Chains A and B, each alone.
Chain A
Amino acid sequence: MKRLFEFVGEVALFGFRVIVDAFRPPIEFGQIWSQIYDVGSRSLPLVAASGLALGVVMTLHTHNTLVAFGAGARIPEVQSVAFFVEIGPLVAALLVAGRVGAGIGAVIANMRATEQIDAVEALSIDSFKFLVVPRVVACVLVLPLLTTFMDFSGLLGGYFSEYAVSHMSVRLYVTRAFTNLDWANFVPPTLKTAVFGFIIGTVSSFFGYTTNEGAEGVGRAATNSVVLASLLVILADIILVRCIFLVFPESAI
């Protein structure tokens, strides 16, 4: 139990140091941009494809039920609300935790194991600011964008599925999808993924940066990063959803 509290404290202090160093000059713009490109390009195909597939599957599952209740016309609305409010943010975050979190953990752990982090320090460069902060900032900035891609990919997949059954026009689908969708259904859930990004970046960097087990630690850092980041994202989602309901009561479905 004591070890657990120590671990939680270490991760929290690590996260706090990320926040402080992110605003402490010099800002590593070059590194941040490079990481944004890296995180974004690595995740975009996966997020877009998953969104498309989920959109198709979700419409397949809900179509018959909604039609049976005489609510066939609301299929686009159900699809858009489900994706914008919850499926998009959460699934995008879990995909990034798996794809990028493992990568960050493994890359930094490998740098630790092969003395590259020591080499950065020996060159008078702050390795934490140079390696950790840009990765966390990139995750924070990129995840809301990836979530938006996920949302619209899901809608597109939903449209394909609906078109196959009812030949609904794009115009009608889009109109019905967005008629009852409020900004409060889009902005807060999308922005909450910045918190997910912070969790993913911080947790995976923590496991990579603090490993001292050589090559064996690289694999362990990657695995631990994915497991803990995914778990914390889900836990944070519960808390953030409650917070969003408090601040934006109209966003409650």
Chain B
Amino acid sequence: MSDERRAAIALEHVSKFFGTRQVLRDVSLEVERGEAVCILGRSGTGKSVTLKLMISLLKPDTGHVWIGDEDIAQLNAEGLSRVRRKMGFLFQSAALFDSLTLHGNLALPLHRLTHKSKAEIEETIERVLGEVGLAGDKNKMPVELSGGMKKRAGLARAMVLDPEILLIDEPSSGLDAITAEEIDDLLLRQKILQKTTMVIVTHDVRGARRVGDRFAVLDQGNLIGPCRPAELEHHESEIVRKLVAEH
């Protein structure tokens, strides 16, 4: 691909099948650097699949997924590892390593992927845990954390390497309104202060409006949009209007 590619993330005519079931149909999407794009949609429409394609946890059956100038589906293990180092991923379930403490969860990528000294690693962990409000919980095991704390811990792990791109899967699912708002605040701060590119998959339209610059809607594997927040209520697509009206 050309060196002129500017978007941080680009999906080009991506389709994805699971067996005979087509989950994504010819999806194209560009996310500019420093931009936050929210992907909305009903359950089972392929939102999480889209996110996993962006970090190559899944491969597209057709089409291309570009991270900067690199088609990640075509990269070898070394190249993929290099690209992934620029990315952070918050899983819907947080996916904390349950055999490690919160500190261990954050220390693992720092030990393996950076050349930081032990003191620098400790300082980084303290700083990131402080940012997500978990500074006093670093020695807890994941099983000791509440749902909201797990989400924040997962976000801390996703941010610990200061990624250029954050992929966030359902940041507020299963959380009360106040905790969900705290998570949104964290994302907003990350976007403004660090200029981090974000793709957020969510059901929470109110939260998405706070953090997102543009919105896309997935409906039966088809991507609608992206569009600006103000265009949502009057969008030509009925499913977009319905999704917004539900909130």
Contacts and interface: CB of A to CB of B under 8 A. Distances in A.
21 contacts: A114-B95, A115-B91, A115-B92, A115-B93, A116-B95, A116-B98, A118-B52, A118-B57, A118-B95, A119-B95, A119-B157, A120-B97, A122-B55, A122-B87, A122-B88, A123-B108, A124-B82, A124-B84, A124-B85, A124-B109, A124-B113
Interface string B67-92: 00000000001001110110111011
A124 B88 CA distance: 10
B112 interface: yes
B98 A119 contact: no
Nearest to B161: A123
B104 to A, nearest CB: 12
Interface of B: 52, 55, 57, 77, 80-82, 84-85, 87-89, 91-93, 95-99, 108-109, 112-113, 157
B57 A122 contact: yes
- Indicate the size class of the contact surface on chain A: 10 to 19
A250 interface: no
B120 to A, nearest CB: 18
A238 B168 CA distance: 53
- Which 9 residue pairs across A and B have the least CB separation, nearest first? A119-B95, A115-B95, A122-B89, A124-B84, A124-B81, A123-B109, A115-B91, A124-B85, A118-B57
A216 interface: no
B112 A125 contact: yes
A213 interface: no
Contact of A119 (B77, B97, B99): B97
Given A116-B98, A126-B77, A121 B93 contact: no
B77 A121 contact: no
B18 to A, nearest CB: 10
A114 B113 CA distance: 23
Interface in A102-118: 107, 110-111, 114-116, 118
A114 B93 contact: yes
Contacts of B87: 122
A34 to B, nearest CB: 9
A120 B108 CA distance: 10
Contact of A123 (B52, B77, B84): B84
Contact of B89 (A107, A119, A125): A119
Interface string A60-103: 00000000000000000000000000000000000000000000
Nearest to A126: B77
Given A115-B93, A115-B95, A126-B77, A121 B57 contact: yes
B182 to A, nearest CB: 22
B97 A116 contact: yes
Nearest to B77: A126
